Structure 1
Amino acid sequence: MGNEQIPQPASTPATQHRPTTQETSVAGTAHRWLLDRIGDLWALLTDRPISLYAASVLRIGYGLLYLIFLLREFPHRDEIWGPGSPWTPALAEQLFDQTGWNSILLLSDSRAYFELCYVTALVTSALFMLGWRTRVVSVLFAVVVTSFHARSIFMTDGGDNLTLLMALYLVLTACGRRWSLDARRDRLKAARAGNAPEPVRSLYAQQLHDARTTLITVVHNCGILVIAAQVCFLYGSAGLYKIQGPTWGGGTALHYALNLELFQPWPALSHLVDEYPMVIAIAGYLTVLLQVAFPFVLFGKLKYPVLTVLLGMHIGIAVLLGLPLFSGAMIIADAVFLPDRFYAFLPRLWRRAARLTGMWRPAPGRAAEFGSVPSQDRPGVPGSKHRAAACTEGHHAATGLASEQS
């Protein structure tokens, strides 16, 4: 009994680490920073629809581009998509079994049905460009582009690939809020309503309305972000692919492209440009550099000169290589990176230039310089009426000032 040892409590190992006050503070700061970034992202997606003017430019651009494309190929429509195409419906069905695509053009082999589909495509493209009932017409436009693209996928160039993607993405966006017949109809409806009080909704109806507005805003913003990501991936992958080739590294890629008979709409012009090898080499290196760096310059003012150079590059591709559809699709896609204040400034710039040349004079009682970005507040949000009233007062003040100066 006397030799028994009393068990001692286990001591804490000396190597066990206890977080210090400084480490706890750093961890808390990182946690708060992460929560702030998540909050900023959530506010970006749900606060208000972004890039409404850019979405409208994409709608107008791709609607007009596809309308011109269909009109240009009107004499050859039967050989490309119709019953007389060498890519027969049987071959298209075999490809669909492998790819999972489909086309409304294959629902019937009647020529009358094909002509009806072609006229429908022309009308749909025009209505989409004008922004008439955009919610429904955008879906029809996506179906039209997908059907014509899938019917004869090997009969057209690569420009319609991007047009197809953008047609699908634009279904998600509120691309009819600006510069459209829908926007004009909403303005006229608001003008007729005047200062009439809004109808009182029940609590359930108001909650349902707010949820619908938030859902539309989130889907639109996600669509815009997907479009921007698509263009970034396109430029980045194209630049990285060019780096792997010896012709782009040696500065001779454009030389070989200019001497391909398939891409010589004006051979004399191509041969004239080819006589300046140093300029061709610099243009090739600059093209690769801009495409690789494009995703990294979008968050600063450097994107404006980059977009300007890319605009010139696409115009050169359209003229020298005879790819207007591809160049047009790329130029329109680049418009998503320009802010709304840029598009809101364009009408003012046009009126100022027209006034200096004597082509335009402001109507009596109309502000000459009023052209700010319209309010994007959602109905039902507290404070939106006060902001709308402030904007109205500012407009009346600007109108009065313009009248006094005139």
Structure 2
Amino acid sequence: MDHAFALLTGRPISLYAAAVLRIGYGLIYLGFLLREFTHRDEIWGPDSPWTPALARELFQQTGWFSFLTWWDSTLYLDFCYVAAVAVCALFLLGWRTRLMSVLFAVVVAAFHARAIFMTDGGDNLILLMALYLTCTACGRHWSLDARRRARRARGGRPGRWALWRAASEVWSQAGPARASVVTTVHNCAMFVIAAQVCLLYGSAGLYKVQGASWQNGTALHYVMNLALFRPWPGLSALVDGHPLFISFASYLTVLLQIAFPFALFSRLKYVILVLLLGMHIGIAVLMGLPIFSGAMIVADAAFLPDRFYRACGDLCRRAFRSSDGPAAARHRPAAGRSFVPTQPGDATTLPAAGGGA
């Protein structure tokens, strides 16, 4: 119990993974709204077959809500649509992330509820993750908020007004307690996200294994011949022309989904994550479900350690610096040297940078 309590309250875990979730789901929903911009009135507008009156009647039974049904006006829909696009973009960039995470969840819930009969498993997962991300510190890294904090730490301007300075001082004094609460809530939310993904894969695998077509390895054959999920009929026919591959892929799909929750605490999970990545790419291409596949790939990214994302970030920075050319390298300071001169009275030893969580 002491170890579990220390794990929840000691330091925030998977901060880079939370940032990847923020970027991934913000990008997916932003792309979704931009893609459906020309069809917005047919899906969410007053001229939709599922009218606002029908939606409000359903809300009375289910308890859902959507601000898109407050006024039956095309102009109001356009205003809400532009505002939703802006919220998704700001959430993706990590600007005022705590506020934007709440607004992003409201936007996803509103659009989801307004056209509830046009959603699929990918939309359901994005909605759940948007709600969970409101409790995470997903703006700590790779965000405009992180960049602003870094600039402020390097010597930002103090507050201009006395009231602002007093409020800042009170806020800083409450820092330890606030940090403990934020850490606990963030860690709990990340555990819930992990549990949600494990439940999704485990239940999907157990449901599949009960079906006769999955037991005899022919399930994907029928999937390849569904007219609704054949964006590339020639490619589907080509894949379906290899019965041995179809059978192997059917059994492997069930095995991966059932084994995923049990492989989280071993290095086997990295092999399973790579195979799941290939599976979701195949679903996106062969079945024409890019939103669902993208949502699942982003959810799987929560299980990669922060050291992996730090290594990726360092690799990208080195690649970007090397692309500057030798001219920029000559003007770049050498490693271990600083342009700031030593001041009298400076301490000879300093704590290592980056030691904090």
Q: Given the superposition, is the C-alpha separation of residues 346 and 366 from structure 1 closer, same or farther in structure 2, using an over 3 Å criterion?
A: farther
Alignment of 1:202-351 (within 5 A): 208-350=174-316
Q: Name the % identity.
A: 64
**Match for residue 127 of structure 2?**
164
Per-residue deviation, residues 191-232 of structure 1 (Å, max 9, x unmatched) = 1259xxxx999x997773321111111011111010000000
- 8 Å contact kept, 2:45–2:73: no
Q: Given the superposition, is the C-alpha separation of residues 59 and 250 from structure 1 closer, same or farther in structure 2, using an over 3 Å criterion?
A: same
- 8 Å contact kept, 1:58–1:335: yes
* Residue ranges of structure 1 left out of the alignment (5+ in a row): 1-37, 369-385, 394-406
Amino acid at match of 1:165: L
Q: Does 1:56 align with 2:24?
A: no
Alignment of 1:38-77 (within 5 A): 38-77=1-40
- Following the alignment from structure 2 to structure 1, what is the Cα–Cα distance between the partners of residues 349 and 116? 51
- Following the alignment from structure 2 to structure 1, what is the Cα–Cα distance between the partners of residues 254 and 238? 23
Aligned Cα RMSD in Å? Answer: 2.5
- 8 Å contact kept, 2:217–2:251: yes
Amino acid at match of 1:257: V
Aligned partner of residue 154 in structure 1, secondary structure: helix
Amino acid at match of 1:365: P
- Following the alignment from structure 1 to structure 2, what is the Cα–Cα distance between the partners of residues 388 and 98? 62
Q: Given the superposition, is the C-alpha separation of residues 276 and 118 from structure 1 closer, same or farther in structure 2, using an over 3 Å criterion?
A: same
Alignment of 1:114-129 (within 5 A): 114-129=77-92
- 8 Å contact kept, 1:263–1:320: yes
Structure 1 moving runs of 4+ over 6 Å: 203-207
TM-score, normalised relative to structure 2: 0.88
Per-residue deviation, residues 124-148 of structure 1 (Å, max 9, x unmatched) = 0000000000010110000000000
Question: Displacement, 1:349?
Answer: 3.0
Q: Does 1:390 align with 2:352?
A: yes
Alignment of 1:90-239 (within 5 A): 90-193=53-156, 208-239=174-205
* Residue ranges of structure 2 left out of the alignment (5+ in a row): 158-164, 337-347
Question: Displacement, 1:155?
Answer: 1.9
Question: Displacement, 1:292?
Answer: 0.3
Aligned partner of residue 215 in structure 2, secondary structure: helix
Amino acid at match of 2:49: P
- Following the alignment from structure 2 to structure 1, what is the Cα–Cα distance between the partners of residues 259 and 177? 39
- Following the alignment from structure 2 to structure 1, what is the Cα–Cα distance between the partners of residues 13 and 216? 42
- Following the alignment from structure 2 to structure 1, what is the Cα–Cα distance between the partners of residues 154 and 353? 15
Question: Displacement, 1:157?
Answer: 3.0
Choose which of 41, 50, 54 in structure 2 pairs with 1:78: 41
Aligned partner of residue 390 in structure 1, secondary structure: coil
Q: Given the superposition, is the C-alpha separation of residues 153 and 392 from structure 1 closer, same or farther in structure 2, using an over 3 Å criterion?
A: closer
- Following the alignment from structure 1 to structure 2, what is the Cα–Cα distance between the partners of residues 270 and 309? 20
Report which of the two structures shows the higher radius of gyration computed on alpha carbons: 1
Question: Displacement, 1:390?
Answer: 1.6
Question: Displacement, 1:96?
Answer: 1.1
Question: Displacement, 1:360?
Answer: 5.1
Q: Given the superposition, is the C-alpha separation of residues 98 and 366 from structure 1 closer, same or farther in structure 2, using an over 3 Å criterion?
A: farther
Question: Displacement, 1:75?
Answer: 0.9
- Following the alignment from structure 2 to structure 1, what is the Cα–Cα distance between the partners of residues 306 and 119? 34
Instruction: Give the number of the structure with larger relative contact order, counting CA–CA contacts within 8 Å between residues 6 or more apart.
Output: 2
Q: Given the superposition, is the C-alpha separation of residues 137 and 239 from structure 1 closer, same or farther in structure 2, using an over 3 Å criterion?
A: same
Q: Given the superposition, is the C-alpha separation of residues 236 and 360 from structure 1 closer, same or farther in structure 2, using an over 3 Å criterion?
A: farther
Aligned partner of residue 116 in structure 2, secondary structure: coil
Which one is further off, 86-95 or 72-81?
Answer: 86-95
- Following the alignment from structure 1 to structure 2, what is the Cα–Cα distance between the partners of residues 106 and 388? 58
- Following the alignment from structure 1 to structure 2, what is the Cα–Cα distance between the partners of residues 205 and 55? 25
Q: Given the superposition, is the C-alpha separation of residues 82 and 351 from structure 1 closer, same or farther in structure 2, using an over 3 Å criterion?
A: same
Q: Given the superposition, is the C-alpha separation of residues 279 and 94 from structure 1 closer, same or farther in structure 2, using an over 3 Å criterion?
A: same
